[in-house]
Amino acid sequence: MPSESFLIGFVTGVILASVPLLIAAVGETISERSGVLNVGVEGMMLAGAYGGFSAALAFGNPSIGIALGGVAGVVVSLVMVLFCVRLGLDQIVVGIAVTLSMQGTTSLLHGAQYGTSYPRLDAMPTVPIPLLSSLPVLGPSLFTQPVVVYLAVLLIPLTGWILQRTRFGLNIRVAGEKPEALEAAGVNVVDVRTWTVLTCGCLSGIAGAYMSIVAAGTFVPFMTNGMGFIAIVIAMLGSGKPWRVLLAALVFGVAVSGATSLQLLGVVVPLDLVLMMPFVAVMLFLVVLGRRSSLPVALGQPYVRGSR
Amino acid sequence: MRSTKHGLDAVLRARRPRLAAVFGHALWAVSSLLLAVVASGVLLFALGRSPLAFYTDLVAAGIGQSFGLVDSVIRMGPLLLIAAGLAVAFRAGLWNLGADGQFLLAAAIVAGVAPSVQRAIPGLASIAILFLVGVAVGGAWSVLPAFLKSSYGMNEVITSLMMNFIGLGVANLLVKGPFVGPLLVQTNDIPELLPGILESRVHVGVIVAIAAVLVLHLLMSRTAFGVGLDVLGSNPRAAVHLGVDVAKLTMIAFVTSGGLVGLAAAIEILGVWGYMRADWNPGYGLLVIPLVFLARLNILAIVPFAALFGVISVGGQFATRRAGLPNDFSLVLVGLMLLAMLSTQVVAKKVSTASRPRFALPKRSFAATGETDA
């Protein structure tokens, strides 16, 4: 029977790994529902991680860091908006370009700014939930979190409500399924997709900032290490439904943190195995469940006004 | 979108480039490259480095001195093969973004088995076997994304990227585990490496790469296989009507792509290194993506661009070291090149009203993915 301290460490690790995946995957879900496959999430997360960390360091306030991480993500997503949504160019090429240039840029900026000092941030202050936080194991691990984690969980019902119950959500879904119909109804498809891509950029940036400010306490080049791509898979497996996205994010959170937990138990796991486990899990899931994931019909297709 | 009314004849006619078109493409490629160089120069300036000194260093190290020039020619070998591999996949409308994983795993296995293979079979035969090992490993590592794409219609962008991370991990585990030599982070030395051409450091692998690319060009431009790939890439629905077995062709294109990347790894290990070090990842798979598009997916046009990228790769390593920057500058340059190509393409489209420009980047329809899902 594993000890209580191990269980606390395990749950804490799962949350630390799941939250950024969850936030970014919700952003990707919104973008995908409107018909834009955002492969640039990885780059936007890195921009958020770097921008958020620098801001938190400069202002001495992690909350400002998280917020400005979101702003950094929005700034990067403007490239995606201009090239993919406004000019209707290939979403995959632009997504790859965004990811590559942000990987390089953040690494260079880090090298130039912190290359010799390697500054660290203090742990982000947590807010325990009354009563629940006094539970054994789950109290200290699950119900004592920074505010951003609670907000991330609230994002699930909020996104579900917007997508399913509001006029704007309906516009988003039609933009992804039948953009011509939306245009015929007098709604500007390009505007709808602009908002969804900016939202995705903001959420990706916040996800990255969470990784640097809360999870790691520092910025390391390439620190997102493919989590942006896993977020895309989570959005795919979630089939556009936020509750399923939460479930998938938790499953992959276990995959990301599971190997580390084994190390805590004293099982010797090579670092290379730890790093590749989540990707093995992704491939297994795709092989088993992939057939059932459904994507919007107009996903990946640029919309040019009046073309049809 | 090409018309399917005239069948294969129309496709073949559309594939023959005209001189004016070639000139137009060259102009587009050069302006895109210049735009990317200027844009990344702005970043260098923002970091407090002199862009002029950086690019002078790059050119000087890449072609200025004789050893730099030799290094650039050697570097061209793997870039050529990887670019050709990606072009095969891209022409079929398949995004093989898993080249780095295919490359590293093939490199690790070639380096790992080479000493024992060469003990058993000496001479040229061992080299041929090791080339085949590289091809087989690279091809095998692309089978899963290819299968998921052809059977479930699953987006290969994501699956091939995932296989990169797994390939990197497995390669490292192999090099640090079963293949580890007396030096704890690398494999045993390979006794017999590729011979040099005319007593120079340029090894015969470069010739093998060029020969492979020429054969591939003939295959792509003169055979039904090549036409089938192009039809699949430009219009999957038309491919079905022309009687192309889409699932089978998807598998073949993807595995050929991975195989060429694996051959690149074998040449790099047997020609340059003679061993594989753990955590080594040159990232060629990402570097060549803009190269493939600059060549407009034309296999022959890859040769001059691979030479150019060899210079950029070798010279860039030196220039970033001189500037005291991490080597990741090349990622910025590559990303900006892609964006620059897209921008110049938009401008070219706006400018040319008389002739309809052909798109450099594959216009693929994701509707095809949706169809197989439904």
CATH number of the domain that A153 lies in? 1.10.3470
Residue A22's alpha-carbon distances to A197, A297, B210, in angstroms, are: 17, 24, 47
Range of the domain at A236: 4-292
Please report whether residue A305 resides in a domain.
no
B331, closest residue in chain A (CA to CA):
A104
B222 touches chain A (CB under 8 A): no
Contact A234, A254 (CB under 8 A): no
* A231 in B contact zone (CB under 8 Å): no
* Contact criterion met (CB < 8 Å) for A101 and B165: no
Please give the pLDDT value at position A297: 67
Helices (H), A137-188: 138-142, 147-165, 167-177, 179-184
Alpha helices (H) in chain B, listed in sequence order:
7-15, 19-46, 51-59, 66-91, 99-120, 124-140, 143-152, 156-176, 205-222, 224-234, 236-241, 246-268, 284-294, 302-322, 329-351, 367-373
Q: Which residues are CB-contacts of A15 (< 8 A; sequence separation ≥ 6)?
A: A141, A142, A145, A149, A253
The structure tokens listed for B117 are 């293979």
Mutation site for A-interface testing, chosen from B166, B292, B317, B365 by largest number of A Cβ within 10 Å: B166
Query: How close B86 comes to chain A (CA, Å)?
Result: 14
* Residues A276, B169: C-beta atoms closer than 8 Å: yes
Three-state DSSP state, B157: helix
In a domain, A297, yes or no: no
A10 in a structural domain: yes
Which chain B residues touch A291 with a CB distance below 8 Å?
152, 373
Domains of chain B, first to last: 7-373 (1.10.3470)
Supply the pLDDT for residue B352.
Answer: 62
pTM: 0.89
Which among A197, A80, A202 has a CA at the least distance from the CA of B339? A80
SS3 B196: strand
A91 pLDDT exceeds 50?
yes
Q: Which of A250, A99, A114, A242 is nearest to A169 (CA)?
A: A242
Instruction: Say whether residue B23 is in contact with chain A using an 8 A CB cutoff.
Output: no
Interface subset of A 1-40, CB within 8 angstroms of B:
37, 39
141-160 in chain B: CB under 8 A from chain A: 144, 148, 152, 154-155, 157-159
Residue type, A45: M
Q: Is B97 within 8 Å of B149 (Cβ atoms)?
A: no
φ, ψ (nearest 5 deg) of residue A246:
-60, -45
Of the candidates B248, B287, B255, the residue with the CA atom closest to the CA atom of residue B79: B287
**How much is the pLDDT for A52?**
97
Best residue in A42, A98, A100 for a mutation probing chain B (most B CBs within 10 Å) = A100
User: Could you read off the pLDDT tens digit of each residue along chain B, which spans 374 residues?
Assistant: 444 444 555 555 555 567 777 788 888 899 999 999 999 999 999 999 999 999 999 999 999 888 889 999 999 999 999 999 999 999 999 999 999 999 999 999 999 999 999 999 988 899 999 999 999 999 999 999 999 998 888 888 889 999 999 999 999 999 999 998 888 789 999 988 888 888 788 899 999 999 999 999 999 999 988 989 999 988 888 888 888 889 999 999 999 999 999 999 999 999 999 999 999 999 899 889 999 999 989 999 999 999 999 999 999 999 999 998 888 888 999 999 999 999 998 887 777 644 444 444 444 433 333 333 32
Nearest neighbour of A232 by CB, restricted to B158, B330, B374: B158
Rounded to whole angstroms, the Cα distance separating B274 from B253 reads 30
Residue owning tokens 């987006």: B155
ipTM metric? 0.90
CB contact under 8 A, B366 and A232: no
Chain A closest-CA separation from residue B202 CA (Å): 30
- Please give the tally of structural domains in chain A: 1
Q: Quick one: pLDDT at residue B22?
A: 79
Beta bridge partners, B210, equal: none
Question: Hey, is the C-beta of B37 within 8 angstroms of any chain A C-beta?
Answer: no
The interface residues of chain A toward chain B in range 58-87, judged by CB-CB distance below 8 A, are 79, 83, 87
How many angstroms separate the CA atoms of A54 and B259, rounded? 43
Q: Is the CB of B293 inside 8 Å of chain A's CB atoms?
A: yes
**Residue B374, Cα to own-chain centre: how many angstroms?**
33
Q: Which of A71, A56, A70 is nearest to A119 (CA)?
A: A56
Average pLDDT for residues A225-238, to the nearest whole number? 91
Kindly state the tokens that stand for B163. Answer: 């296989």
Strands A127-128 and A144-145: antiparallel
User: Residue A74: inside a domain, yes or no?
Assistant: yes
Task: Tell if the CB–CB gap between B369 and A286 is shorter than 8 Å.
Answer: no
Distance of alpha carbon A258 from alpha carbon A247, whole angstroms? 16
Q: How far is CA B269 from CA B198, B203, B207, B256, in A?
A: 20, 11, 15, 20
With respect to residue A307, please indicate whether it lies within any of the assigned structural domains: no
Interface contact A276-B168, CB threshold 8 A: yes
B122 close to A (CB below 8 A): no
